[in-house]
Structure 1
Amino acid sequence: MNANTLSTPAKVLIYSTAAILLTLGMKAISTVLVPVFFSLFSFLIFAPLVRWFMRKGVPGMVSVFLVIIFFIFIIVGTAILFANSLFQLSNQIPDYEIQVQSIVNSISTYLPRIGFSVESVLRNLAAFAFNVSGEIITGALSAGSTIVLIVITTTFLLLDAASVPDRVQKEVGEQQAHLSHFTKLSRNVINYMLLRTETNLLGGIGTAILLLLGGIDFALLWGLLFFLFGYIPYLGFYLATIPPMLLALFKYGAIGALGVLVGVTIINALVENVLFPSIAGKGLKLSPTIVFLSLFYWSFILGAAGALIAVPLTIVVKIILESSEETRWMAKLMESSGTRVKRGENEGKNES
């Protein structure tokens, strides 16, 4: 049966069933997909650096070696920072608990007395925030084997990329138009990963400097947390803000916590609205609703790692849908309304 002869409800049913089966299948092999996806995106981030070395006359193998050494240096440095901060944080947890108890006791006379203890709720919230931070750090440190696999896979991808131009010229031939179309579409993913990484780095450095100037404990750790959580759309900023706010509350009181909130909010606003282009609406043509829903979808499939790469994975899905005439309408539904209106206006102008 030809797919073009199917009715619209039948197509919707088929596509929905396929999407559900694909979702369940990916969830079942999520432990395999996580290192694969992270290797691919690590490759996208570091491939331009390899090409830069090659343009400077450095041989391909040597270029890849230099980039991988740099990659390993970043991973090792991050692991050392995490381990050192986790050790110090675990030693200070009892002191923080005492400070939480002191704060709760000081405001207990102003808390309403209802059917449950507001004091216990506040205490549990503080404990929960520190436990979440500790689990994130512990999880990152325990992912050693996965990180090694990511480094190895990224190395092979970069080695292949160093020789791709020669092979492409020999093997593509009449498929050059299709290759050009794919390259143009995939450039969106590369641009996103590079821009997101650069702006997250600036935001993390700015946050770390702010917290260092404010005398907040583990300022470098929270700056790194801001860098990582910057990949999580909409929610990452708020999750990363909680730990340093609590430490500022312990050290300086409510004014200190408010100061940290205001400071990191200004930094985040500068990064997202000034330094980082409006990718969801302009560069990537993704609807903000799709971006937000993708966060939950990929988190369901891949766990916490899915939240970090939800947007680039959604871009890949959009690229795949755009590659076929039958599914191109789905890709258009994923675009922001402003993009579709602008495209319609341009088409109208071209027709006139």
Structure 2
Amino acid sequence: MALGWWRRERASASEAEPHPDDAASTARTSVALPRAAVILLGFAGVVVVMFGLAAARSVVAPAFLALVLTICVHPVRIGLVRRGVPVGLATGAAIVAVFALLAGFVATLVFALAQFTTLLPEYAPQIQAAGANLSDALEGLGIGAQQAQTIVDGLEPSRIIDVVGAVLGGVAGITFSLVVILTLLILMAMDGTYAPAILAQLRPRRAALVDALVLYTRNVRRYMVVTTGLGVAQGVLNWIALLILQVPGALLWGVLSFICSFIPNIGYFIAIVPPLVFGFLSGGWPVFIAVLLVYGVVNAVVQSIVQPKVVGGAVRLSETITFVSVLFWALVIGPVGAVLAVPLTLLVRSILLDADPTLAWWRPATGDVEETKGIAAELSAKARAQAKADRAARPPRGRAARASRP
């Protein structure tokens, strides 16, 4: 009897004690946060990271520029090594080549900017006359005289020099830090010799991450090399056309066109404004229209026809994300962020989406719509078939209805 009582007490105690698995499940359930809280925490983390990048933009911008350049010249070093060139000499040759290109670009930019600062005072009377006409037009539209004068004051030659110098200087500021970039190029190129071994060592544990990084380097290299080549062609064509049209500062506007070719969607409008203004000041409306047509044709052929076919699937970002990324990265790390917006956005997508197979279904939302195009075509075909069936099922109206009556 005592034994039976002890067994009943033992059973009731075991039922009262939670099982370890049940306790762990309960703990996991209690720790889980609502989806809204997770989203808010994610946004908070993004804001903190972006503010940190903005605070360290003087370091982040040249470091990422050096990384992109290292990725672009890596095949050159590999090709030299395969041809029997020593590793150290091949690495040095690739670095010197990139550094020479940067130095040449800086020299051209400095010369063009100096030419512009000496050229602008020659057109000061025309600019002031255009400002007066603009002030009268604004007052005619109902804008107050004080507000109109404030707008016109922004067209003063000294202020234009400051604005152009700030924009071009911000873009070239990273390039002027040649010592920092050269140091980073040397160190990254030396570390890059171990990149294949590091990826092979990491692949058994993080195969998806390795695949994402390899795909990222391949896509960025293709995008940057193709964009650079097409940007040079675009800048040279615009420069030659401006020389023929006798637009002042043609070299500077050609360099500006080359820089802005790296800025998707927005770069064209930035590059075309100065030559339009100076074309109008030097030759009136005929030169203005000619510059507009030349830039429109060159931009349409290079960026709308040639570049998508050559780059192919290297980018696969939606137009909305590309446009927002230019504004976002320019806000975070300055003008260089606008130039490197596409590589930066591709890096974020590679780390957050491509490195996690469970999130691959998000890629169509970012612009990778190769499979989505087939689904969209099927849906369109179904919608057309349904609309046709609905029209056939509708009762006849008007003359058709009267003709069908007995």
How would you bin the TM-score normalised by the shorter chain?
0.7 to 0.9
Q: Number of aligned residue pairs: give it.
A: 345
- Please tell me the residue identity of whatever aligns with 2:292: L
Q: Do residues 13 (structure 1) and 40 (structure 2) align? A: yes
Please point out which of 308, 326, 330 is paired with 1:299: 330
Distance, in Å, in 1 between the alignment partners of 2:239 and 2:279 is: 14
- 2:372 — aligned with what? 341
Check the 8 A contact 2:76/2:94 in 1, yes or no: yes
**Compared CA separation, residues 18 and 54, structure 1 to 2 (3 A):** same
Q: CA deviation at 1:24?
A: 2.0
**Compared CA separation, residues 138 and 110, structure 1 to 2 (3 A):** closer
RMSD between superposed Cα atoms in Å: 3.4
Q: Give the share of equivalent positions with the same residue, in percent.
A: 25
- 2:49 — aligned with what? 22
Q: Do residues 50 (structure 1) and 82 (structure 2) align? A: no
The worse-fitting range, judged by mean Cα deviation, of 218-227 and 2-11 is: 2-11
- 2:214 — aligned with what? 183
Larger Rg: 2
Q: Do residues 214 (structure 1) and 245 (structure 2) align? A: yes
Q: CA deviation at 1:60?
A: 2.3
**Compared CA separation, residues 34 and 182, structure 1 to 2 (3 A):** closer
Residues 1-352 of structure 1 aligned to structure 2 (within 5 Å): 6-103=33-130, 113=140, 114=142, 115-116=144-145, 121=151, 124-125=154-155, 127=157, 129-139=160-170, 143=174, 146-165=177-196, 167-168=197-198, 171=201, 174=204, 177-178=207-208, 179-277=210-308, 282-322=313-353, 323-325=355-357, 327-328=359-360, 330-335=362-367, 338-339=369-370, 341-342=372-373
Q: CA deviation at 1:267?
A: 0.5
Q: Which stretches in structure 2 are left out of the alignment for 5+ residues?
A: 1-26, 378-406
Check the 8 A contact 2:171/2:336 in 1, yes or no: no
Q: Which stretches in structure 1 are left out of the alignment for 5+ residues?
A: 347-352
Q: CA deviation at 1:192?
A: 1.9
Check the 8 A contact 1:35/1:147 in 2, yes or no: no
**Compared CA separation, residues 144 and 68, structure 1 to 2 (3 A):** same
Distance, in Å, in 1 between the alignment partners of 2:156 and 2:102 is: 30
In structure 2, the residue corresponding to 1:97 is in which secondary structure?
A: helix
Check the 8 A contact 1:280/1:287 in 2, yes or no: no
**Compared CA separation, residues 22 and 327, structure 1 to 2 (3 A):** farther
What is the TM-score with the length of structure 2 in the denominator? 0.73
> What are the superposed Cα offsets for residues 92-137 of structure 1, whole Å, 9 maximum, x if unpaired?
2221212223445688888864432768745634745554222233
Q: CA deviation at 1:141?
A: 5.8
- Please tell me the residue identity of whatever aligns with 2:220: V
Q: Which consecutive segments of 4 or more residues in structure 1 shift more than 6 A?
A: 105-111, 278-281
What is the TM-score with the length of structure 1 in the denominator? 0.83
Check the 8 A contact 2:70/2:185 in 1, yes or no: yes
